[in-house]
Structure 1
Amino acid sequence: MSRTAAIPDQDVVARRLLGGSVRRSYEPAVAIDWDAPLDPDKYFLPPEVISLYGTALWEEMTEEQRIELSRQELANVLSVGIWFENLLNRALLRQLLREDPRSSHAHYTLTEMGDECRHMVMFGRVIDRVGARHYRLRAVDRMVWDVLPFFLRGSLLWVAALVGEEIFDALQRRMMTDPRLQPIVAQLMRIHVTEEARHIKFAREGVVRRMQDAGRLERVLTGNLVGIGGPLFRTAFTNPAMYRRAGLDPKRARREARANPHFHEASVFGFAPLAEFLLGNRLLGPIGRLMWRRAGFLP
């Protein structure tokens, strides 16, 4: 949405999104075929988005090793998704303390939180169903995650929500119809893309509305602090533990992944819609832009 476009009242937007939630929401417990067998020849993520695709190490791997790496990268991505949705829900709960509980805006916020709770359950069940283990936050990262909701307010809350949602959304839209995917993964992605579209709409309009009255300091702070997402995602998406679990040398694998032009291309693709939105709303400052570029998410 352009920063010059007319912004509907937040309750008007929320009522529309509430209607969409009634019409198109899913209960993963019944919407996913949990008993369907896994196909030993299918990937858990398409090869082209796997961090080592096209590298010298990738060429040395057998097809079985490549599929196993895709399993571990899926489990890692879903674990990261759980961390972000947990963070977002706690930040939204704090925001609700300042909302009118009668408003449609508050009601949609609660509806979104319910969606995110189901998504976390779905991610956890899929990690288990594909025969993987979840990935944990390091102790120091857990401490940061514990305090972050206290700082996510105003435009920073909505921008943080978009950082956690839009990159995954863009990549899932690219992947979910790939015939090489395990059916259970494709089902997960279709559900997540459908429901995240409403969450992204909610957060984008929250950003644009906030920017109508934001002062220069808030705009500068938000536009540069958003850059923290770049190195955070770079670290998360090249987690050495997933290479170790796939039977690879984690140091070599991480080094080759971070230098991999194919991985860089996938990262740029995932960030592109959000980058366009942030630039259109003057919310990607020079420091923020530099951090995303150094992390490999900008060309």
Structure 2
Amino acid sequence: MTPVAAPPARDAHYDEMLRTLSEGSVHVHFDPYEDIAWDSPELQIDPDDPAWVLSPEHDPLGATAWYQAQPAERQREIGMWRIANAIRVGAAFESMLIRGLMQFAVALPNQSPEFRYCLHEMTEECNHIQMFQELVNRIGVDVPGMRPWLRLASPVIGGVLAVRPVSLMVAILAGEEPIDHYQKALLREEGTVPPAVRRTMEIHIAEEARHISFAGEFLRLRLRKIGPVQRAFLSVTFPLTMRIACEEIMTMPRPLTKKLGVPAEVHREAFWRSPKSREIMAGYFADMRALATETGLMTPVGRRVWKALGIDGEPSRYRGEPDRSARVVA
């Protein structure tokens, strides 16, 4: 009888982390229709709520002199459309990452602890999509969301990423980090987002912490074993993926800014020509610069790519550290 091959050696620390994350998903999780009181008076959407005004510190459009010079009613209107569109784009990105994660998970061998956690994560992401779409529907503005070309390409992108697990985890981080950083910055300030938006952000941040932890630990484990050629390749594609995702998630599409009467030069200033907007964008990725440094991807060539893309700066000293400073190209 041919002996059964022994399974590959596992990393005990990594497996324990997966068990911890899986148990966390069992015992600390949220349902969009049980844990959000959508019909309560305090969560009703009020177009006149001053919290719709975009933050001049954390939102690149809110930082422009043009936006700050608009009447309060116009600021609220533009803010409502911008926030709703970013939420819809975030939901579309999560659906794309679910495709890749599902194809990755179903190909895992028996006894893999990654399988269980991946299914927990996808369950949470499905809840986030429901939560985001319910919020957009209640805001009541017909935002376009993801750009048409990316919507059409998303099934292919998800499938390709599924067979390149390292690239899949980089894409997950690229899709989560900008909006996670943006939401945390807003939640640190009182009155910067309406109550219903704040509640969805709180839930999203709480559960995305697990997703980001998984992707980061996956990369730390896998990147210890890659060769110099692949490391050199990833040192370039890592920041490039971050920048592309940021462009899609955090930039208002031009048709929407045109609809809202935002001048073309203001759109260019906000995304991402001005020093302030580039500082905001670089701030999204302090944790990712720390991860790249830790895993050896912040090579001399890689560092130049981060700088050329306008997302270089200091790495964070700990996960979720508020912005300190970002050295960016003006």
Task: State the TM-score, normalizing by the size of structure 2.
Answer: 0.80
RMSD of Structure 2 on Structure 1 (CA): 2.3
Please give the per-residue CA displacement for 1:88-126, whole angstroms capped at 9, x wherever unaligned: 111111111321354332111000000001101111111
2:94 counterpart of 1:54: no
Name the residue aligned to 1:283: 297
Q: Larger relative contact order (C-alpha < 8 A, sep ≥ 6)?
A: 1
Question: Which sits farther off after the overlay, 267-276 or 223-232?
Answer: 223-232
Q: Structure 1 pair 30/16, CA: closer, same or farther in 2 (3 Å)?
A: same
Could you tell me which of 20, 26, 30 is aligned with 2:30? 26
Could you tell me which of 141, 162, 185 is aligned with 1:132? 141
Question: What is the CA distance between 1:32 and its match in structure 2?
Answer: 1.6
Name the residue aligned to 2:3: none
Q: Which amino acid aligns with 1:57?
A: W
Name the residue aligned to 1:272: 286
Looking at structure 2, the residues matched to 26 and 139 of structure 1 have their Cα atoms a distance apart, in angstroms, of 31
Question: Which sits farther off after the overlay, 279-288 or 166-175?
Answer: 279-288
Looking at structure 2, the residues matched to 139 and 12 of structure 1 have their Cα atoms a distance apart, in angstroms, of 41
Name the residue aligned to 2:197: 185
2:97 counterpart of 1:88: yes
Q: Structure 1 pair 167/137, CA: closer, same or farther in 2 (3 Å)?
A: closer
2:123 counterpart of 1:117: no
Question: What is the CA distance between 1:150 and its match in structure 2?
Answer: 3.0
Kept in 2: contact 1:50–1:73 (CA 8 A)? no
Name the residue aligned to 1:296: 310
Looking at structure 1, the residues matched to 133 and 302 of structure 2 have their Cα atoms a distance apart, in angstroms, of 32
Question: What is the CA distance between 1:147 and its match in structure 2?
Answer: 1.7
Looking at structure 1, the residues matched to 132 and 286 of structure 2 have their Cα atoms a distance apart, in angstroms, of 25
Name the residue aligned to 2:44: 37
Count the aligned residue pairs.
Answer: 292
Greater helix percent: which structure? 1
Looking at structure 1, the residues matched to 113 and 244 of structure 2 have their Cα atoms a distance apart, in angstroms, of 36
Kept in 2: contact 1:170–1:273 (CA 8 A)? no
2:145 counterpart of 1:145: no
Q: Structure 1 pair 284/133, CA: closer, same or farther in 2 (3 Å)?
A: farther
Residue segments in structure 1 that go unaligned for 5+ positions in a row: 1-6
Looking at structure 2, the residues matched to 235 and 293 of structure 1 have their Cα atoms a distance apart, in angstroms, of 19
Looking at structure 1, the residues matched to 138 and 259 of structure 2 have their Cα atoms a distance apart, in angstroms, of 17
Looking at structure 1, the residues matched to 203 and 83 of structure 2 have their Cα atoms a distance apart, in angstroms, of 16
Larger Rg: 2
Q: How does 1:160-199 map to 2 (within 5 A)?
A: 160-180=171-191, 181-199=193-211
Question: Which sits farther off after the overlay, 104-113 or 143-152?
Answer: 143-152
Name the residue aligned to 2:255: 241
Q: Which amino acid aligns with 1:140?
A: W
Could you tell me which of 219, 224, 231 is aligned with 2:231? 219
Looking at structure 2, the residues matched to 23 and 233 of structure 1 have their Cα atoms a distance apart, in angstroms, of 32
Identity %: 29
Q: Which amino acid aligns with 1:170?
A: H
Q: Which amino acid aligns with 2:45?
A: L
Question: What is the CA distance between 1:71 and its match in structure 2?
Answer: 1.3
Q: Which amino acid aligns with 1:259?
A: R
Please give the per-residue CA displacement for 1:196-229, whole angstroms capped at 9, x wherever unaligned: 0111111111001111211223222222122133
Kept in 1: contact 2:170–2:241 (CA 8 A)? no
Looking at structure 2, the residues matched to 194 and 43 of structure 1 have their Cα atoms a distance apart, in angstroms, of 22
Task: State the TM-score, normalizing by the size of structure 1.
Answer: 0.88
Residue segments in structure 2 that go unaligned for 5+ positions in a row: 1-10, 313-327
